[in-house]
Structure 1
Amino acid sequence: MSPSTSRPGAHGTLITVAPTGAEHSKADVPNLPVTVEDLVRTARDCERVGAAMIHLHVRDRDAKPTLDLGLLRETVGAVRENSNLIVQLSTGGAVTDSEADRLAVLDALPDSASCSMGTVNFGDDVFLNRWEFIVELHKRMRERDIVPEYEIFDLGQLTTLRRLLDEHGLPSGGHVHLDLVLGVPGGMAGDLETVAAALRLVPEGATFSATGVGRSTLPVLLASLSAGGHLRVGMEDTTTYARGEKVKDNAQLVARASSLSRIAQRPPIGPDEARVLLGVAR
C-alpha cells in the first residue's frame, strides 16, 4: 500500500536530526554532541537549516549512554525552551538497557518517541524488542499523548506493525508514522531495491521517513525523496560526510538534506507544520 500524500505537509519534507545515538564513543568522535548544552546548540543550528524534529539519546557526565530520567527530563525541557523542534526521545537506548528503563523514558513526556517493531541483530549485538514490550510501549505512549515513530529494521517488522495496529488500535494523534532504518549490519540493506520492497508493506495512509546508516546515507536519502518520503539524518547514523571527509557537525548533514529536498521540489517543512503532519498535540 502507498504512503499518504494528502496530509498537510506531505508534499514537503520532514527532516529529523539524530545527533548522538548510543553507539559512537566520544573518544572516537570528538565532535559528537553529548552534553545538554551541546544538544541545545545542535537543536538551534539544525532548526535554522531545516530540521523540524530532533531524535535524542542522552549521555552522562562521562559521555556514556544513559536513560537517567532526570537527565532526560532536563534535556527535553532545555531543547523545548531553546528551539521549536519536535522533541523525540529514543526508547531504544543502548542494546544493554533493560525493558523497565526503556519504558520509563516515556515519563520524561517528549512530544514523540521511538517504538521499534522487532528484534534485530545490531552488528555483534542483539537489539531485543519482544512483542509484549512493543505492545506496552504503544499503550503507554497513547496514555501520555506521545506520538510514536515506529522504527522498522527489517521487512517482517512491517507485518508486526500491521498486527499492532489491528490488535491495539491507532497511536496517539491518530496518525501512523514510521521510520525505515536501513544499512544496520543485521537489518535491511541500504539500497533502492530494499526501500521499494518496504514501501509495498507500508500501511495505507501512513507517512514514512528513511534513515541510511553509514555509507547508505545518500542512497537511502535520495530513494526516500523520490518516493515521497521524509528524512532522518545525523551523527547517530553516520560520521562521514563524503569519502575521506568526516562530518563537521549535525547541521552540515541537515543542510545537505534540506538542499536535496529543495532540488526534489519537496522543501523542508517547519516544526509547526510537522506537528500537524504527525498529530503531535503539544
Structure 2
Amino acid sequence: MVAPTGARRGKGDHPALPVTDDEIVETWRACAAAGADGLHLHIRDTDGQHLLDADHYRALLARLAPIAPGAYLQVTSEAAGRYSATEQQAMVRALRPDHVSVALREMVRDPADWPEARAFYHWAAEAGVAIQHILYAPEEMRSFLAALSAGKVPGIHHQIQLVIGSYAGDPPSFADLETHVALMAGAEGQSFDWMLCAFGPEETACLVQAARHGGKARVGFENSLHMADGRLARDNAERVAEVAAAVAEVGGN
C-alpha cells in the first residue's frame, strides 16, 4: 500500500508530495506501475489542510475506481488535531467506505468513550465497512486484544495497521514490532491481516522485517521521504519500487 500524502506534510517538505486530487490520481498511476496494489487516501481543503469530508472522498474514490480495478482503496479517519471522535465516526457513517483506517487511541481517548466507540465498531461490521485498526504501541495492542475479548470490537478476523516511529523523530523500534507479532500470535481464536508503517530512513528495513513475519507493507511520503541509502526520494513511486523489490526478496507483499 502507498500512503502518498498524510495529514501533515506539504510541498515545503517535498515538492512531489501530492496534495490536490489531480496530484493524488497521477501519483496513484505512477505508484501502481511501480508495484503498489493499495492506496491510503488523505484529502485536503482549499488551504491545503487535512480534511475529513464524505462528499469529497466519494468524488475522489469515483475518479480512482476506473484506474484502480481490484486495488485496495482506503480512506483515513485521522483526527490530526482537527476532529473529535464523534466527527470522525460521523464522516465514516456518511461515506460508508469499503475500507477505512481508524486509530484506537482516537476513538477511545478516555475509558468513558467506550460506549460510543463500541457502537461505531459494531455498526461498521454490520454495514460492511472494513476497519483497519491503527495501533501505535504494544500497550495499544494489549488494549485492542482486551476489547476483542470483551466484545467491544466484534469479529474474529481483523485488519491491523502497526506504526513504529513518529513524526517527532522517535526512531522505529524493532523490539516493539516483535512484541506486536508475539501478542497477535497469542490471541486465541483471533486472526489478523496486518501491515506495518515506519517513519524515517529506516522505513525500508522495517518493512522487510515485517514481511519476514508475514506482514504487509505501507510505504510513502506520509511516513518517510527517504530511500534506504538516506537520500531524498524522487517521488512516492520511487519509494514504492524500492520497497516492493526488497519485500519480494523475502516473499512478502
What is the TM-score normalised by the length of structure 1?
0.78
Question: What does residue 9 of structure 1 align with?
Answer: none
Q: Are the structure 2 counterparts of residues 214 and 26 from structure 1 closer, same or farther at C-alpha, using a change threshold of 3 Å?
A: same
Give the deviation of 1:162 after TM superposition: 1.4
- The answer for unaligned runs of 5 or more in structure 1 is 1-15, 121-126, 269-282
How do 1:1-282 residues align onto structure 2 when only pairs under 5 Å count?
Answer: 16-84=1-69, 85-106=71-92, 107-118=94-105, 128=109, 130-132=113-115, 134-166=117-149, 167-168=151-152, 170-171=154-155, 175-184=157-166, 190-202=172-184, 203=187, 204-242=190-228, 245-266=231-252, 268=253
- 1:234–1:136: structure 2 CA closer, same or farther, 3 Å change rule? farther
CA deviation after TM superposition for structure 1 residue 33, in Å: 0.6
Q: Which has the higher contact order (CA 8 A, sep 6+)?
A: 1
Asked if the contact 1:35/1:59 (under 8 Å) is kept, the reply is yes
* CA-to-aligned-CA distance 1:26-60 (integer Å, 9 cap, x gap): 33332111111111112222222222211111011
CA contact (8 A) 1:55 1:87 kept: yes
- How many positions carry a matched residue from both structures? 244
C-alpha separation between the residues in 1 aligned to 2:159 and 2:250? 21
Alpha carbons 1:154, 1:188 under 8 Å: kept? no
Shift of 1:186: 7.8
Q: Which has the higher helix share?
A: 2
Q: Could you say what secondary structure the match of 1:251 adopts?
A: helix
Q: For structure 1, which segment, 92-101 or 54-63, has the greater mean C-alpha deviation from structure 2 after superposition?
A: 92-101
Q: Distance in 1 between matches of 2:197 and 2:226?
A: 15
CA distance in 2, matches of 1:209, 1:156: 17
Aligned-partner residue type, residue 211 of structure 2 = L
Partner amino acid, structure 1, of 2:195: S
Consecutive unaligned residues in structure 2, runs of 5 or more: none
TM-score in terms of structure 2 length: 0.86
CA-to-aligned-CA distance 1:110-146 (integer Å, 9 cap, x gap): 22111212269xxxxxx95754454244223213211
- Taking a change above 3 Å as real, the CA distance of residues 193 and 67 of structure 1, as seen in their structure-2 partners, is same
1:244/1:193 Cα in 2 relative to 1: closer, same or farther (>3 Å)? closer
- What per-residue deviation string (whole Å, max 9, x for no partner) do you get for residues 56-75 of structure 1? 11011221111122211111
Identity over aligned pairs, percent:
24
CA distance in 1, matches of 2:91, 2:222: 19
- Structure 2 SS opposite 1:247: coil
Contact 1:21 1:235 in 2 (8 A): yes
Q: Equivalents in 2 of 1:60, 1:195: separation in Å?
A: 34
2:204 touches 2:228 (CA, 8 Å); kept in 1? no
**How far off its partner does 1:228 sit?**
1.5
